[in-house]
Structure 1
């Protein structure tokens, strides 16, 4: 069992603080992660086609049944007592429509058997990548273009003032888990056009851009110096 301590002042956790801090307090007092998440649903239930969403112990997932199929048929999310599933639950609570849409698309891809038994295929692969590691970035055009071109010194230097106009949202629960121990190489799969999340045909093309997230101004004091971005092992040039 992890110690369940979290610095909510970190910029990547701060948007989840109002939702997550009371739940984490319950866990520290002995509640399971599923129980804590379910307490939030009492005030604001999430309605899915199979019923109202609930979080259940991982042991309720039948052997041989896929995770997404279980969520779809039971309106229940198998949940372990770890950080990964805590953040997964928080994103469900914060972004229920997006998570429900992703679940439906997973099932559509499974029914279509797009990749054959035991394989994910392009649609489910794209869904998994973004669900685990995604970040939505609304940025002024020059910033967006510099990210596409991997012009890191421009992103951290001449274009740095434009970051004040940018808006970002972490979607990936595994990304949040990794940021419990922030390290310079941690990258997000960044989506610059949120409308892609409403179009499975566009999403399956994986229109993501890699961004070492500690390069976002305000996320790391060291990135105030341009040399931070001159590390080709992390801030890699465009091939």
Structure 2
């Protein structure tokens, strides 16, 4: 899966350093991601140590963002979508933490419901679809 990624592409530059720090082996992505998260001292908004956990850890009926807010476990599948999500956690941890805190607070206030609501929709659109121009001074 990861061998097909061309890290020389300029649009991957912002997450390439996070990828380079991973000690990837044949056992999947979760272990190396957790090594980096621990080394960086990543935490959720409640101050709990962030970890990447198998998707199966997410109980049925529990919202993804609610779970991260309550447990600091980021449900992660062995696919490119979740791999790049994890790289964003490792590259922009404060943004990801704030987005999760906003989502978790909205869920705590309003429940999951059939629709996310404006704040959760906005956070999801930013998280899943935004492009940031990252430059170095």
Name the structure where strand makes up a greater proportion of residues. Answer: 1
The residue that corresponds to 1:33 in the other structure is 29
**Contact 2:14 2:91 (8 Å CA) reproduced:** no
TM-score, normalising length: structure 2: 0.87
Distance (Å, rounded) in 2 between the aligned partners of 1:52 and 1:14: 26
Other-structure match for 1:121: 117
CA contact (8 A) 1:50 1:72 kept: no
The residue number in structure 1 matching 2:16 is 17
Which residue in the other structure is 1:231 paired with?
none
For CA contacts below 8 A with separation 6 or more, give which structure has more relative contact order.
2
**Shift of residue 50, structure 1, vs aligned partner:** 4.9
Q: Matched residues in 1 for 2:42 and 2:118: separation?
A: 29
Runs of 4+ in 1 over 4 A off after TM superposition: none
Task: Look up the match of 1:225.
Answer: none
Deviation at 1:30, TM superposition (A): 0.9
SS at match of 1:56: strand
How big is each residue's C-alpha offset from its partner over 1:210-235, in whole Å with a ceiling of 9 and x where there is no partner?
xxxxxxxxxxxxxxxxxxxxxxxxxx
The match for 2:89 is 92
Q: Indicate the RMSD between aligned Cα atoms, in angstroms.
A: 1.8
TM-score (norm 1): 0.52
Secondary structure of 2:3's partner?
coil
Partner Cα separation in structure 2 for residue 22 and residue 112 of structure 1: 38
CA distance in 1, matches of 2:43, 2:72: 8
SS in 1 for 2:74: strand
Shift of 1:43: 2.0
For 1:15 and 1:68, locate their aligned partners in 2 and report how far apart those are by CA, in whole Å. 24
User: CA distance change for structure 1 residues 42 and 107 in 2, over 3 Å: closer, same or farther?
Assistant: closer
Shift in Å, 1:5: 2.3
How many correspondences in the alignment?
133
Q: Is the 8 A contact 1:8 1:17 kept in 2?
A: yes
Counterpart in the other structure of 2:109: 112
